Structure formats: structure tokens, C-alpha cells
Structure 1
């Protein structure tokens, strides 16, 4: 296990900052997911940590030792960092045991010791007895576990995952999520998991670091990230949050602020110390919006579409005050909403995004 610390790390390509002034502290034994859309810089960040890229500025330390920085560049093989890729990177002409033990062979570990460590690594990923099989005879999930065992056999202090479930179907993904979580519980190894899939990040990570345009925009546990996004980007990216313009009409009181959104007044959650302001943004989830009661406050709109989701219907509404926006809520499956029909909805709650 090892603590990972990045301080002001920047990597520039042809004048473009792929990673810009990133500072991050990953605790010993923590499972951190790095999440963001394609092109946000998360894979470049992984390559910097692994030693495949040299930072143009800043410093990276693993286990308290600087591995990248001013005048320092420790090669990847000397960092004790394990890597698990999305394409498995297994040699087809080698057996499972030969794939897993290749690093030990290169390191000239004694044959009996190497065989023991390979068997232990395969047992750890529930592949005991698979050593003599070849990759072609394995399922996608089993190949990913072989790749994980190959990483573990060298006893890395830090394990980096580069979108390891991207090539698996939805059912195998769910099974492998549990495999990774169980592995982390058993070993306590420090892990950094790169992904664009927020469901994976939410299911696995102790904390999630969200990247946008090469920068870290928020680092928080999954619940805080969902309930209290720090920016409009995080709000819209995580679980398709709806970002709505508001006027903040009152200061914070007991964790709530009064706002006016699309002509409706509502009480929303906010950070301590928020004050009235002319412009602001709130994040609403589908559970925060629903049909308005007859004669009660609400927002007039038109049904854009209604999609049956099994047990409920997801309804999308274009508010008359701003048809470019979309309000989404879930109705019971017996309810009927026809596209183009008028509808009145109400904002029940939400989160006031902190001012920039």
C-alpha cells in the first residue's frame, strides 16, 4: 500500500494543457475513481502517475518518495505500480500461469517461489485451477481477472485501472464491479480507477475526482458529489442533473435558501452562509420534480416525451418560460402523458450550486 500525492501537476501537448495544475492526495489504502467525459485528461493523468509521461510542472510522490518532479523521473518499472488495462493485454500463446508469472520470470524470481506467488494471485481472483488454460478459452470477465492477478503477483504498492470494464457487456460489468470491490476489501491496496462511467465510480470508490478540461473540478465521496455538486458541469454530468437558472431571494437559514425558478418559488438546499443574489443556478434531480397540485405553485410546460422505464414512466417537460430547458420527473406507470400535452410541474427541492 502507498499514499499517492500530486502537487500542481501539468502536462502540455503543443500548447494545450491536457492536465492543468492538478493537486490530489490519495490516502494509503483508498479507492479513488477519476471520472470525466472523453478528452478531460484522466488517461493522461494515469500515464503521468505510471511514469509513461513526464510532467511539465509539478511533482508526483508515491509512498512519500518523489517519482516525478524537478530533476526526478523514476522509470515505470521501478515505481511498484500495477496496471490493469481495458483490453487485458494478455499473451495468447502463454497459459494463464505464464501470463501471470511473466514479471517474476523477468525479475529472475526462483521457480518455486514464483509458482507459489502465481497460485496465490490466481486464488485471490477466484481462478485457482485455471493456470494451464489459455486466454482464448476464457470469458471476458475471466480474462480481466487474469490481468488483475498478473498485476498483483508483483505486489504493487499502488494499482491503476484504465477503464477496465469498458469492453465487457452490462451483466459482466456488474459482476466485475463486485470482484474489484471484494479485491479491495481483501487487500487494502491503494487504487486509482480511471473511468467515464459514473455508475462504476459511484459503486466502487471511496472518493471520486471529477475532471473537466484537464482540471480537477471536485473531489468528494459519491453521496456528496450527487447531492452537492460544486459546479454546473458536475451537476449536469453526474446522473444527468438538471441545471436551472434562479434568483436567490433570501439568505441561507437552517441549510435552505429561497429561490425563484421559472416563475416558481422554492426552498432548496445550500451551503452555510449563502446570501441573496440576482443570478444563480440550482441542480435538480428527477426526484426533486413532480406534477403540481391543483391550484398550487408550479411551472407550466409541454410534454416533450414520455418513456416507459419499467415500473415508472420518465416524463420530459419543456417549460413555457424557457423551452430550451428540460424538466424530468418519474410518474407511476399508470399515469398517461402524451407528447405535446400541457402539463404543470413543481420543483420540490434542489441544490443551490455555489457561486464561482
Structure 2
């Protein structure tokens, strides 16, 4: 049984279409990240799954139960979902244990059973023995774990994360990513994780849904999203992919096509059945770029910018043949370039964006 099924979901606010015919199936026990730029519709999607917004069209099922369709909305408190917010939403006048057990108290769960479940939730998030503390006496990471435990204690069918690491310092984010991954492994709970942070999505998710302007652009594994983006939006959005015009010269064979890029021959990865065409687009990543030997073949241009990043520099290169194009690559210390230098590079590969999606 699917943990969550979204069918042809649409949402309109006045004349603004926040979601447009979105369909996603999340398998039971799967960790799905929903990723996209600001305004892409990911928060609206979360609010509709939670029952905070009514649907204009489409349906939502949670663990086989229809919870949303036009004219029928199961109240949020009856959906058996847990939500972890980015601002924790803890009551400061309650102890950690009281915060975690609040939903059980409202549901009039017997005291000994409630204590058992609170203690189990504390153990699951590695906060044993901290039940009597006030939230103000915890670190940001610990408060986030309290919020997670509060959601778990109600034994939800589905857990929604609303950009939970956005308010944490950088050094805490990595440790909390480990916590979330360990929690998912221990509990097997179905998770929908809303984020704008690509590194979080790549590190945590079984699959990623990339959205833009209310439309689902691609739903795939992190590896496929990175190496085989479905269209230009996904290609350029994920890891700052470089999208460039290319001429395809041969039909696909063994997953590759021969092409011409910036006047140079190149062999590209491509989808089955792709073939010769003008006006195609290729997605190249920084790892596809290398500095050419002074007397070797390559693409000539100049260094527009050098950004030191600690141990390496991000180099921005502009080819003579295409002044509007920027090609970025990394060079470890000690790197030889300064802004304005002439240089020659080679492109070693890339992904040919499918014809039906490239326009």
C-alpha cells in the first residue's frame, strides 16, 4: 500500500495557480524530498497534505484513506500525520516530556501508557533522561529532536517535514541530517520532506520531486535527477548545471550520441532513441570540465572570475565562441588562474536533455 497518493492535484488562490495537476505516489516507508526554488508550490503542497488548505481539483490518499477531494476534507487532527516545523513550535512553559505528550493528553490516553510512549519517543531521538528539562535549556538541534519526538508519539502514518533545518547553524545541519536518516531507518515511517536545500535532499531522500511554478518537473532518485535531468529547469537548478546549445550528429547507440559543442566534437550521454537534431541542449557539470594542455585541443576563452572556497577555487570561464555562456569548474590548490587570464579547457561529457523537454 502506498503511504501517500496525490492525484491530479490543483490549487488556486484568486487568479494565481499555486499547484497545477500534480500527481505523486510515495511508497510506504519511503523518504521523499520535495525540492524547488521559492514560490514553486512545495509549501502549498505540504499544507494540502496536512489538511490546512482545501483542494480545488484532485485527490489525496494517506495510507489508503481518501482525505482530500473537492467538497470533502478530513480534518487535520483525523489524518494521523505528524508535522515537524522549522521553528520547532514548542511551548516554553512546558517541559520536554510535557511538550512531547501533549497530544496524548488531549486524546485522554491513560497516564502510564502516555509515559511509556513519551519515554520511547525520547529514546528514539536520543534524548533519554531529558524529559524534565525546559526547551530553553536545550540546543537548537535538541529542540528539533523534541519536535520530532512530539510528532512520533502520536504514531502517525505519515510525517511531514517543513524545512526543519532552515533555522540551524551550518555545523548543526550535518548532525541533524544524520539524526533524520537514523530515525527513518529505525522507524520505517513514510516521510515527505520539504526543502530548498539540495544537499539535504540528495543526502536524505530515496527520491526527489523537483517543482517549479506549481508543476512537478521530475520525480526520480537523487542520482537520476543529477545525471539525467528531465528538462532545462531541472538541469540548471540542480547543482548549478550548465545548459548549453549543442548540435546532435548521430543516433543514440549504447546510451551515447556524437555531437558538436562550442565548435568541438563531444560524446554525450543520451536517452534511448535520441538522434540528430539542431537546437538541442546539453547539461554539463563541473566534473565534465578539465584544463587542456597548452598545445592540446580545446575551447579557448578567458577567466572571468576566481572564487576561493578553501582548498580549491571555483573558476568561471567564458568561451570565445559563445560570450553569453559561462562554464564553471573547480581547481584544487595551488591553482594557476587569476581573473582575466587566457585559458583553454576541454569538455569531456554531459547529458543531452531529451528532445521533448528541452524547449
The TM-score normalised by the length of structure 2 is: 0.97
Per the alignment, residue 201 of structure 1 pairs with 201
Q: Which digits, 9 at most, give the CA deviation of each residue in 1:202-254, with x for residues without a partner? A: 00000000000001000110111111111111111111111111111111111
Q: Which digits, 9 at most, give the CA deviation of each residue in 1:21-44, with x for residues without a partner? A: 000000000000000001000000
Per the alignment, residue 256 of structure 2 pairs with 256
Per the alignment, residue 130 of structure 1 pairs with 130
Per the alignment, residue 186 of structure 2 pairs with 186
d(CA) in 2 for partners of 1:131, 1:339: 56
Q: What are the residue-to-residue correspondences of 1:326-337 with 2, within 5 Å?
A: 326-337=326-337
CA displacement at 1:58 relative to structure 2:
0.3
CA displacement at 1:324 relative to structure 2:
2.0
Per the alignment, residue 224 of structure 1 pairs with 224
Query: RMSD between aligned alpha carbons?
Result: 1.1
Per the alignment, residue 312 of structure 2 pairs with 312
Q: What are the residue-to-residue correspondences of 1:62-77 with 2, within 5 Å?
A: 62-77=62-77
Q: Gaps (5+ residues) in structure 1?
A: none
Per the alignment, residue 97 of structure 1 pairs with 97
d(CA) in 2 for partners of 1:278, 1:117: 63
SS at structure 2 position matched to 1:23? strand
Aligned 8 A contact 1:33 1:195 in 2 = yes
SS at structure 2 position matched to 1:3? strand
CA displacement at 1:2 relative to structure 2:
5.8
Per the alignment, residue 61 of structure 2 pairs with 61
d(CA) in 2 for partners of 1:8, 1:19: 10
Aligned 8 A contact 1:2 1:190 in 2 = no
Q: Gaps (5+ residues) in structure 2?
A: none
Q: Which digits, 9 at most, give the CA deviation of each residue in 1:97-116, with x for residues without a partner? A: 11000000100111111111
CA displacement at 1:322 relative to structure 2:
1.9
d(CA) in 2 for partners of 1:237, 1:4: 26
CA displacement at 1:71 relative to structure 2:
3.3
Aligned length: 356
Per the alignment, residue 48 of structure 1 pairs with 48
| Greater CA drift, 286-295 or 135-144 | 286-295
Aligned 8 A contact 1:305 1:339 in 2 = yes
| Greater CA drift, 220-229 or 328-337 | 328-337
Aligned 8 A contact 1:37 1:196 in 2 = yes
Per the alignment, residue 168 of structure 1 pairs with 168
Which 4+ residue blocks in structure 1 deviate beyond 4 angstroms? none
Residue 82 of structure 1 pairs with residue 88 of structure 2:
no
Aligned 8 A contact 2:56 2:70 in 1 = no
Distance 1:158 1:101, change over 3 A: same
The TM-score normalised by the length of structure 1 is: 0.98
d(CA) in 2 for partners of 1:186, 1:58: 33
CA displacement at 1:64 relative to structure 2:
1.1
Per the alignment, residue 287 of structure 1 pairs with 287
